[in-house]
Structure 1
Amino acid sequence: MRSQVRWTLRWESELQLDEHVELATFFRNTYGPTGAFNAKPFQGSRSWAGARPELRAIAHDSNGIAAHIGLLRRFIKVGEVDLLVAELGLYGVRPDLEGLGISHSLRVMYPVLQQLRVPFGFGAVRHALQKHVERFGRHLPAAVLSGVRVRSTLPDAHLDLPPTRLEDVLVVVLPVGSAMSDWPTGALIDRNGPEL
């Protein structure tokens, strides 16, 4: 039987060092089974992989951190249009609670998006998560876009790597302060920074 989870919203500047350490351990344990490289950014007390979130929704239960999603407001470029979004990412759920679902964390975060008065929530996920993100429509007014590539800068500059990465991913758009019809068309989204 699963224990009850409780969600809290935490601004990044409110987190203490012990909380970053606990989150880093959570991400290593959550992302590690998908490949050692995926857990690598979370060494020591680092609780973010690329861009650092400004707000986090963190679920706890009697066993510790159960799930997490981060938010970062930023301007992205969709085609030729600069657009303010709240990027959602750094999603994780403890392996024993995988049925908790991404949509639970988004339902917690959606009222925050409304309070922040952003036109859209935006996220990018691997194609392997397509079935999970397609369920959003049951609970939230989300659109899942395919055929869109997303360019991001690498979080660190390396002499042996290009400074940007281009990915073919599924794009999740949550209309918040604008209608979905206001989302610009374009086959390329430029984050103008590292992914969350």
Structure 2
Amino acid sequence: MRSQVRWKLCWENELQLGDHVELTEFFRKTYGPTGVFNAQPFEGSRSWAGARPELRAIAYDSNGVAAHMGCLRRFIKVDGVDLLVAELGLYGVRPDLEGLGIAHSIRFMIPTLQELGVPFAFGTVRHALQKHIERFGRHSQLTVLSGIRVRSTLPDARLDKPPIRIEDALVIVLTLARSMSDWPTGNFIDRNGPEL
């Protein structure tokens, strides 16, 4: 049985305080089971973990927020080559809806990504999500890259931690205005900021 959801696209400045509070609760419940540390950034009305998105796709059902995807246009460097992308992140599906196909309905966001005038959408996910992402990508122009190190800054400068983090995550590339052959070759991506 698929849950009936309606997707809404919201620019960040369109969200009200109540929207942020509702999203914060959604992220704590969605990310909490993957580790307490993953839910920590979502305190009070903070509905983002690292970089703040400029555009959000939010799915609602009769129980509130059902799913979420954030988007932020930025330049990254792939082995030193500047590349404009729409970074995708803050992805989540409410735990009671996992496995019902909600994630596939995020495809409605592709026309909006194309309107943003970026050649690629880009994101990173942990290796545990590889099969999920590959299933999702079967019917789209999505490529999963492994063996790539990604450097990001921490969201906040702290005295007890280095200012950057380098991780070996799966890199997701969705072609929008160019083909995958135009994606620069390389095994190091510099995000030049905190991840979304």
2:48 aligns with 48
2:138 aligns with 138
- The separation in 2 between residues aligned to 1:136 and 1:188, in whole angstroms, is 25
Q: 1:71-110 to 2 correspondence within 5 Å?
A: 71-99=71-99, 100-105=101-106, 107-110=107-110
State the shift of 1:117 in Å. 1.4
TM-score, normalization: structure 2?
0.97
Q: 1:120-159 to 2 correspondence within 5 Å?
A: 120-159=120-159
Q: Alignment RMSD, CA only?
A: 1.0
Tell me the secondary structure at the aligned position of residue 33 of structure 1. helix
1:119 aligns with 119
Tell me the secondary structure at the aligned position of residue 41 of structure 1. coil
Q: Cα deviation per residue 1:60-92 (whole Å; 9 max; x = unaligned)?
A: 000100000000000000001000000000001
Is residue 57–residue 68 contact of structure 1 (8 Å, CA) maintained in 2?
Answer: yes
Is residue 119–residue 175 contact of structure 1 (8 Å, CA) maintained in 2?
Answer: yes
Q: 1:62-77 to 2 correspondence within 5 Å?
A: 62-77=62-77
Tell me the secondary structure at the aligned position of residue 141 of structure 2. coil
- The separation in 2 between residues aligned to 1:84 and 1:25, in whole angstroms, is 32
Tell me the secondary structure at the aligned position of residue 109 of structure 1. helix
User: Structure 1: which 5+ runs fail to align?
Assistant: none
2:12 aligns with 12
- The separation in 1 between residues aligned to 2:118 and 2:152, in whole angstroms, is 21
Is residue 23–residue 65 contact of structure 1 (8 Å, CA) maintained in 2?
Answer: yes
How many residues were matched structurally?
195
What residue identity is the alignment partner of 2:41? P
Tell me the secondary structure at the aligned position of residue 162 of structure 1. coil
State the shift of 1:148 in Å. 0.4
- The separation in 2 between residues aligned to 1:6 and 1:54, in whole angstroms, is 20
Tell me the secondary structure at the aligned position of residue 40 of structure 2. helix
What residue identity is the alignment partner of 1:64? G
Query: Aligned in 2, Cα 1:101/1:131: closer, same or farther, shift over 3 Å?
Result: farther
What residue identity is the alignment partner of 1:11? W
- The separation in 2 between residues aligned to 1:126 and 1:160, in whole angstroms, is 24
1:171 aligns with 171
User: Structure 2: which 5+ runs fail to align?
Assistant: none
